[in-house]
Chain A
Amino acid sequence: MSSDMETRLLRTRAPGVPIEIGILEKQSSALDLRLPPMLLVHGATSGRGCSTCRGLAIR
C-alpha cells in the first residue's frame, strides 16, 4: 500500500503527573480500519527518535 502519510504530535499526561508526554502519530491517508492501531515503546537511550529519524527509510 502506498499513500501519503500524515504525522502529528499529540500531548497528554498520566493522572496526577505534571509532565506532559508526547505521542507521535503517523498514519496513511488510506487508513485500513480493519487494522488496529499500533503503539511503539522505545529503548533505554533512544526515545522514539530512532524510529522517526528522517533518512532511515527502508530501502
Chain B
Amino acid sequence: MTALASEGRAVYAVDIRGFGTSLGGAAMEEPPLQNPPFAGVDEAIEDIAAAVDVILERQRASALDLVGFSWGAIAAARYGGDNGDKIGRLALYAPLYAEIDATWLERLAGSLDSVRLPATLGAYRLVTLDGVIRRWDADLPTPNSSAYREDGIPELVFETLSALDPRSSSQRPPGFRCPNGPLADVVRIWQGQPLYDPAKLTMPTLLIRGSEDTTSTHAAAVRLLAEIASTQKQYCVLAPGSHFLCIERNRAKLYEHMNDFFAPIRPNATRA
C-alpha cells in the first residue's frame, strides 16, 4: 500500500467479511463444518460495493482505480464489469479465469469431481504458519525458497494476520480463521466456470503475474486478455515471481508496473 500511496494517491485495502479486521458472523464463530463455505464472491461484491461508496464519498471522486489479487481479481472483475461507471482502471494481479486444472482440483478439493464441492469444505479453515509456508513453497519452482523471499517473511505475514484473530494464539498450533468461500470459488474456476464476464470489462485493464505462478497460469491469462472488451489492455509477466510475487524479493518491480499503469491522469477522475 505504501508503494502505491507514495505516488500521491489515496490507497485503500478492504477486508472482505470474515477476513482480518472484518472478522465476524455466526458462521465464523461456530465449528466450521456446521456451515457452508463463507464469504464467497457474491458476498465479496456486496462488501466491495460498500467500500467503493465510502471511498468515493470520502474522496469526493466519481470513480476509483481497482486492484484485485488472485481470488480478489475474480471479485474485482465481477464488480468492475457490473459497475463500470465507478471504476476508472482495473488491474488484475495473478488473475484466475475459467480453466480446468486437475492438479489444483486434486490438491485443493481432494477430488476431480467436476460438479460438486468437497463435503469437507466448511465455513472456514485454520491457517497455521506451516500452512503459509507450504502453500507458498508449493508455488516455487525450486526448493531454495531464499531465492524468492527474504528470511522471516512468512513469519511476518503470519504474525500480521493472526494478530487480527483473537482465537489464533489459543489454537494448537496457533492458527487464524480464514473463510472458505474463496476456496469454493477457486474450485469452481478450476472446474471451468468463469465467475465473471470479461466482455463487460470496458475500462483500461492490466493483467500482471509472476512468471513461475502455477496458480494463475499464462494460458488462462492469455485467454482472459483476448476476451476482455476494452481496447486498452495489457498483459505483463514479471520474472522471477510466483503467485506471491507481491511479498517476494522482486515485489518492487510489481509495484513499479502498477504505478506506471495507473500514473496517467484521467481528466474525468478529478475530484468534485
Contact = CB atoms under 8 A, between A and B. Distances in A.
A23 B9 contact: no
A20 B251 CA distance: 31
Interface stretch (B114-122, B155-163, B193-201): B155-163
Interface string A12-44: 111101111111111110111111111111111
Given A19-B25, A21-B50, A49-B164, A41 B270 contact: no
Nearest to A22: B21
Contacts of A49: 20, 157, 160-161, 164
A51 B61 contact: no
Contacts of B46: 14-15, 17
Interface residues of B, number: 82
A7 B262 CA distance: 21
Interface string B11-45: 11111111111101100000000000000000110
B6 interface: yes
A36 B65 contact: yes
A56 B3 CA distance: 10
A24 B13 CA distance: 5
Interface of A: 1-3, 5, 9-10, 12-15, 17-28, 30-59
Interface of B: 1-22, 24-25, 43-44, 46-56, 58-59, 61, 63-73, 75-76, 88, 94, 127, 132, 135, 152-153, 156-157, 160-161, 164, 178, 182-183, 185-186, 244, 246-247, 251-252, 255, 262, 265-266, 269-271
